[in-house]
Amino acid sequence: MTLHIKESGSWRTVDQPFVNVSGTWKTVREVHIKHGGSWRLSHTTPYTEYNLGSYVLEQNLGEDESGTYTIPTGQGIAYIQIYVEGQAGGGGGGTNAPEHWTCSGGNVSYTTATSVNIGGYGGLAGAITCIHRVYDGDYVSWGGYSDGPANGSAGSGYSLPVYKPIAFTASYPTPGTYSAGSGNNGFMTQCNIRNSSGTSKAQLWAGGGRGGPGATISVSTCVTGSHRGFTVTGANGAYAESGQASNSISTGSGAISVVQSDGILARGGGGNVGYVFASEGNGWASQNIGQVKIKLYTPDKY
């Protein structure tokens, strides 16, 4: 229902009523009327009539870490904005074949080549932004969760054991396709808005980003006399999927809006043998945190 007041002969909508309590004007969050012997909700002041402040909580968390935040009492806080983000995925490893003779028409060409492929980048985490109605004594609880080890860690690189242009040796790689290690998925940030008794009012679980796949490398060989050449091909690892697909959201009437997005925390880069700090093609781990951030909507008068 909408609250109206007649002013100078015309009815107008009242979005934010006030009441004077002991000489102090306060914003009224809800108006109830008695109808047929029962109280009925007549008006709820919308969140747009409140003032959204800066973050009162910016919490980084690791896997298996947890925490809580309780809504301040006696301040007329009617709504919160909460942002939840999981951990991004780790990067996949890169592949390389060091300098080697190549093949041409089935024979060793005696020209040299190297081969480098880059691992896939880890996926960004899933993120959830929710505006939710709250009351004094409500609280937010959160924790990092994963059902697997070493979350957000990087995949290992793979170096194919081909040989530089020197005399033939009996030891050489078996023809076939090889893959560097894939990065691991990031952990999920599980967050719940609860009433004072602990009952969950909203579940906002932000999924971890997927681990980046490792690059692949394929090899075949040729022999001319006492020398061996190699035909080497490969493929870069693909960018991994965002954790949005793993988000889990369950809300009731207290949720005003829920928006999903990709997270902003750093994901793991793919391994690249050409990089100084990834000389063996190892990928990079993602930023080892998830996030929970909260803003409060405060009334104009209280």
- What tens digit of pLDDT does each residue of 63-99 get? 989 999 999 999 999 999 999 999 999 999 999 988 8
Instruction: Please report which confidence band the pLDDT of residue 41 belongs to, taking 50, 70 and 90 as the band edges.
Output: confident
- Across 165-254, the runs of DSSP E, i.e. the strands, are 176-179, 188-194, 200-206, 216-224, 227-235, 248-251
Q: What is the mean pLDDT of residues 46-75?
A: 94
CA distances, 9 to each of 5, 14, 17, 65 (Å): 10, 15, 19, 60
- What tens digit of pLDDT does each residue of 157-191 get? 998 888 766 655 556 888 999 999 999 999 999 99
Beta-bridge partners for 52: 297
Half-sphere exposure of 165 (CA within 13 A, CB side): 12
Residue, of 231 and 1, whose pLDDT is higher: 231
Q: What is the mean pLDDT of residues 23-49?
A: 79
Secondary structure class of 278 (helix, strand, coil): helix
Residue, of 273 and 90, whose pLDDT is higher: 90
Q: Tell me, rounded to whole angstroms, the distance of Cα 144 from its chain centroid.
A: 12
pLDDT for residue 209: 96
Beta-bridge partners for 97: 115
Stretch among 111-115, 169-173, 183-187, 218-222 having the lowest mean pLDDT: 169-173
For the cut 80, the answer to whether the pLDDT of residue 155 exceeds it is yes
- What tens digit of pLDDT does each residue of 196-208 get? 999 999 999 999 9
Closest CA to 175 of 282, 93, 273, 97: 97
Q: What is the mean pLDDT of residues 244-268?
A: 96
Stretch among 168-177, 187-196, 252-261, 264-273 having the lowest mean pLDDT: 168-177
Closest CA to 208 of 256, 159, 245: 245
pLDDT for residue 79: 97
Q: Tell me, rounded to whole angstroms, the distance of Cα 104 from its chain centroid.
A: 47
